[in-house]
Amino acid sequence: MTTVPARIVALQPVAAAEPISQQELWDGFYSGLYCDISDAEKLFLGTQVKQRRLAWPPQPHYGESWPGMHSRMQAWEKHALAMGRESVGKVLTEVDPNDVGSYTFVSCTGYAGPTPDMLLAKEFDLRRNLRRTFVGHMGCYAAFNGLKVALDSLAARPDELAMVTCAEVCSVHLRPEATKEQVVVTGLFGDAGATLVLEAVDNPSRVEGPVVLGTHTETHPETSEAMTWKVMDDAFRMTLSPYVPLYLSETIEPFVHRLLEPHGLRVEDVAHWGIHPGGPKIIEFVGDRLNLPAGATQPSLDILGSWGNCSSPTVLLILDHILNDIRPAAGEYGVIMAFGPGLTMESALIRF
């Protein structure tokens, strides 16, 4: 639970490129790459992803040759910076840049120094004494790591604003590896970015939402091999066990209870849910185990269908969708959650 609740004063998601339909991606490239895998098309389209935005679409970047790590990291830096630049530029029209005292940049898909937070701080002429943090390689739940850095910053310096950017370029890590596991991985992941700005509040019940009331984290190391994200010679490599939805469904009830109980809330008190779309079965299993009402998981399915799993910014895409399309009533509660290597489970309670 956070010691200082924080209001989200700005949130701006951005796309890496124009959307490409899942069927077009399959017909134009992946049908050839996975031609020897039985049921590959069924697995690929069974992700329930309808379209994705890819900074590095498979054509023309892959196929005849496979780029090495250097080219991939150059592409990551270019596109992560571009998404960061666009989303930061948008949020800074809503707040005074001089009030931003801490800035955290989150990305799991690449590395470069100077880190993007430093380059963007210079570009936007942010304060010289800006406290900067780069969060790398923590997986799909990493937005919460950035969020918690921001919350800690506000607890220490409540008169400042805290800014967080998530930007992922998953498309730079396509591999010439034809397995059923990789069919699912390549069928799920897209590229996206998002930036949010938070301010500390003394009494969350007296301010307009959305307000982050608390967070909760759990790690289950006994399932650490169920989801991995390794740096290889040619690219990063993800593994994803089909048992991940089952593992999560076995632990999700007590996990959510431990988030809500300090605030005197139960699952039935939460009107809005943002479940990280690691895949359709994860959304389904979590919704079923929590006994959520019909439609409660739809925002997560909407983002899965229209964006894919974009790693760290995905939960922010869902939150933006809830805020701008679902439009919660003032005072309603929401829970956002994400999962990643560890297995690690992250969550936050929001009052709209």
* Cα–Cα distance for residue pair 51/187, rounded to 1 Å: 10
User: 195: which residues sit within 8 A by CB, 6+ positions away?
Assistant: 10, 11, 12, 84, 87, 88, 90, 91, 163, 164, 165, 166
Confidence grade of residue 1 (pLDDT, cut at 50, 70, 90)? very low
Q: Do domains 6-205 and 209-351 have the same CATH topology?
A: yes
Tokens of 235: 């690219």
CATH 3.40.47.10 describes domain 209-351: yes
- For the chain, the domains span 6-205, 209-351
pLDDT in tens, 128-170: 999 999 999 999 999 999 999 999 999 999 999 999 999 999 9
- For residue 306, the SS3 value is helix
Say whether pLDDT at 20 is over 90.
yes
pLDDT in tens, 317-349: 999 999 999 999 999 999 999 998 888 999 999
Q: Calculate the CA 308 to chain-centre distance.
A: 11
- For residue 168, the SS3 value is strand
pLDDT in tens, 26-80: 999 999 999 999 999 999 999 999 999 999 999 889 977 899 999 999 999 999 9
pLDDT in tens, 246-273: 888 889 999 999 999 999 999 999 999 9
pLDDT at 63: 75
In single-letter form, the type of residue at position 147 comes to L
Report the pLDDT averaged over residues 290-310: 97
Share of the chain above pLDDT 90, in %: 86
CATH number of 6-205: 3.40.47.10
Confidence grade of residue 3 (pLDDT, cut at 50, 70, 90)? low
Average pLDDT score, the chain: 95
Q: CA nearest 265: which of 170, 349, 139?
A: 349
- For residue 72, the SS3 value is helix
Q: Is residue 206 classed exposed, middle or buried when 0-12, 13-18 and 19+ CB atoms within 10 A define those classes?
A: exposed
Confidence grade of residue 238 (pLDDT, cut at 50, 70, 90)? confident
